Every structure is written in structure tokens, then in C-alpha cells.
Amino acid sequence: MTSPSAPERRWSEAFAAGAAERAGEPAWLEAARKSAIARFAELGVPTRRHEEWKYTSAERIARVPWRPAAPAALGSEALAALALPLGDHPRIVFVNGRFAPALSRMDALPDGVTACAARALWSTDGAWLEERLALPAPLADRAFAALAAAFAPDAAVVRVARDVDAGALVVLFLAAPGAEAAVAPRLVVEAGPGSRLSLFELHAGPAGDEPQLHDALTEIVVGENASVEHVRVQLAGAGATHLGHVAVRVARDGRYASRAIELGAAIARLDLVTVLDGEGAEATLDGLYVAGDGQHSDNRTTVDHARPHGTSRELYKGVLSGRSRGVFNGKVIVRRDAQRTDAEQRNANLLLGGDSEVDSKPQLEIEADDVRCTHGSSIGQLEEDALFYLRARGLDAAAARALLVRAFAGEILERVPDAALREALVARVLAKLAAAGVAAEAVS
């Protein structure tokens, strides 16, 4: 067995040093944490020899002497600074991974919906939480997911009872200022049979360029004939590293739709694993990553068709400018018993400058023989014919470019179900494009 590296030792020592802070936690939670940190030590920090980390340097991330973020308080100005219309939706807010009741708004929760901090349920739902707060099995081979499970100081819990229409709910994770602070936001969602939920998961931090690590972990369970629409927006600051991990399990005739919008962070990575674990389960995965000068965005998805008659549709799009890099790896797995699977996967990338690059790798692993599966990838620049067409109709060059880029990204953004949030995200994308030299303000 190889000896642990310096980063692995540092995290193990930090875990041991936090024992006093965790002293009041249930024994089952401490056991889950110890199991997770042991798993992290066993896996070790990935190297470039790991295929999953070929294009993103985990060693560079781990080299920084991160320290677990201390409890912090933020005022209402932190919400205003986001410039996002949270509207009248119920919201639960966490700061540095801890519940912030002063920023939350829970009075409008419908009957049959629970949204709270996990520690509020220790005494009443310990058996349920014990399973939910363990490292999710689909992410058991991800070292940084194990690290998040070990260090998350609390978790946001959302539970929707059988046949309840929960409407829309916002879960907002904020990071307070603090250089080299490591934040571990955690979210657990369970949608009961026949229920419906629109979930907006937002991640944000200080707007400056101070280095931070956001190691986020989300698990979503979609019950039989239930429906969850999940909008995940990442708006970390310019110096942050954001590592997102999402594990989803969909039961018989359940429906899961993901809209993943990646706009922030110097280094951003999202691992999304969706297991269609019941006959007739459906998944729709849409993603948009917009990277400007100096940004690195790595998106990895897995759709595991484990039962027959499953359907999945996936469309991820990237817009890259300046010296930026995008990575997409999408894997569709069809198990031997998952006959009559219908899966489609596409990745399209738009390069706005000669210094940006993309590595795209869609994959199919098919063990069944009665399936319909397709996949494809494209990387290109704005088409000269399309630009000429728009110029011939009166648009100047800048406006023509902006219109085409907005249409490209808009195919994903228009699927965000909340109109006000959708327009706010469009505005953010256009602002990034303007900074990259695309005159987005010329487009009405």
C-alpha cells in the first residue's frame, strides 16, 4: 500500500482536529464521516494517470493548503449582491455549509414539504438520515465526494411527501470571504411517490479572486412516478475552485430533469451520476458552461440505465472565449437487463477565440441488445454564412455575433422553468460575452 501524500495527510489531520467540534453529533454520523475520510485516504488524490482526471489537475487543486471554513454570518446584502430574482419562492440558505435562518424564508412551504438543516432531524429521523448522509454509492469512487461527505458541517434536507406538489424551492449555498477556506455544502433531497418538485440549487461565493475550495455534494432520490426538475447554478468567485458532485436515483416511472449552468470559478468541475433504477424511468440532462479567459470547466455525466424501458436525453453546450478550456465527458451505460432503452446524448461547443480549447468525449457502454442509443459531439466557431446573412439584414458585426451566441446558449437557458431567473442568467451570460469582446449589449 502506498503511503499517503502530503494533501491526504493534511486532510486527515484536519479531520482529526475537528473532533471536538463534532462532539455533539450522533454516533452514526461520526461513523459515516470516518468511513468517508477513510475512503478518501484509500482513493488518494487523483493524478493525470486517472482517465477521469486526464484534463483537470487534481494534484494542483490538492496542493493548496486549504482549511475547513469556520462558521460565518452574512447579511441580506449578500443576497442582493447575487442579483438573482429569488422571488416569493421558499428558500433555505446555508453559509459556509451551515444553516442561516436569518437569510432563509420558510413560511411559504406547502403542507407535506420539509426543508431544514439535517441537525434539526437528528432526534426524529435519525434512521433515515443515517442512510442519506453516508457517501452515496454512485460517487464512492470519487475522492473529493468522499472528502465532502467527511467534512460537510451540516446538510440541507428537502423531503416531499407522497403525491404532494411542492412547487418551487430555492436552496442557496453561500461562501463567506476567506482565502484558502474550504466549504463543503451538502444537499439531500427525497421526492416521495407521485410527488412533484422544482428545485433551484444555487452556489455562490465572494466576487473577488481570493482562492477558495467549494466541495459540494448533492443526492436526489426520485420516487415512483415522481417528478423532480433540478436547476443547478454555479456562480463561484473568480479565484474559487468548485467541485460539484450530484448523485440521482430514479425509481419506476419517475422523471428527473437537470439544468446545470456553470458560469463561475477559476476551476469548475461537475460530476453528475444518474441511475435509472426503475422500469420506465426518465432523465433529461441539459447543461451550459460558459468559460472566459483563465477559466477551466470540466463537466462529467453518467446515465446508468439499470432497468428496462428507460429513456434519457442529454444536451450539454459550451461557450468558450479567451484562454479558457472546456472538458466534457458523457457516459451512457445500458445494463444487460435494461432492454428497450432509448438514449440520446449530444455535446456542442462554440469557440469564440483562437486560444480556447475543448476536449469532448461522449461514450456508450451497452450490454443489452434491444436498444436505441445515439451520441455525438461538435466543436466549432461561428459560421461565416450565418454572420453574412445577419449582416445583410442590417446588423453590424458585433450585434450579429452576439445574436448567434445568444441563440446557441439560449437553447439551454430557455429550459430554466422560472422566467425571472432565466432572464437573470441570460443577462449574466451576455455580460461574460461582452467582457470577451462579443457586444452582447447590442442585442435587445
- What is d(CA 386, CA 399) in angstroms, rounded to the nearest whole number? 12
**What average pLDDT does range 392-407 have in this prediction?**
75
Domain encompassing residue 388: 382-444
Residues 20 and 159 placed together within one structural domain of the fold: yes
How confident is the model over 139-153, as pLDDT tens digits? Answer: 999 999 999 999 999
Q: How confident is the model at residue 439 (pLDDT cuts 50, 70, 90)?
A: very low
Residues 12 and 160 placed together within one structural domain of the fold: yes
How confident is the model over 64-114, as pLDDT tens digits? Answer: 999 999 999 999 999 998 888 887 899 999 999 999 999 999 988 999 999
The answer to whether residue 357 is domain-embedded is no
Q: What angle do CA 388, 393, 397 make, to 5 degrees?
A: 50
DSSP-derived pairing of the beta strands 98-99 and 91-95: antiparallel
How confident is the model over 266-307, as pLDDT tens digits? Answer: 999 999 999 999 999 999 999 999 999 899 999 999 999 999
How confident is the model over 12-66, as pLDDT tens digits? Answer: 999 999 999 899 999 999 999 999 999 999 999 998 889 899 999 999 999 999 9
- Dihedral, 246, 338, 412, 148 alpha carbons, nearest 10: 10
DSSP-derived pairing of the beta strands 156-160 and 113-117: antiparallel
Residues 268 and 397 placed together within one structural domain of the fold: no
Last residue of a domain, one of 246, 278, 310: 278
Residues 84 and 200 placed together within one structural domain of the fold: yes
Q: What pLDDT score does 353 carry?
A: 76
The answer to whether residue 304 is domain-embedded is no
- What is d(CA 253, CA 222) in angstroms, rounded to the nearest whole number? 10
DSSP-derived pairing of the beta strands 156-160 and 186-191: parallel
The answer to whether residue 319 is domain-embedded is no
**pTM as predicted:** 0.94
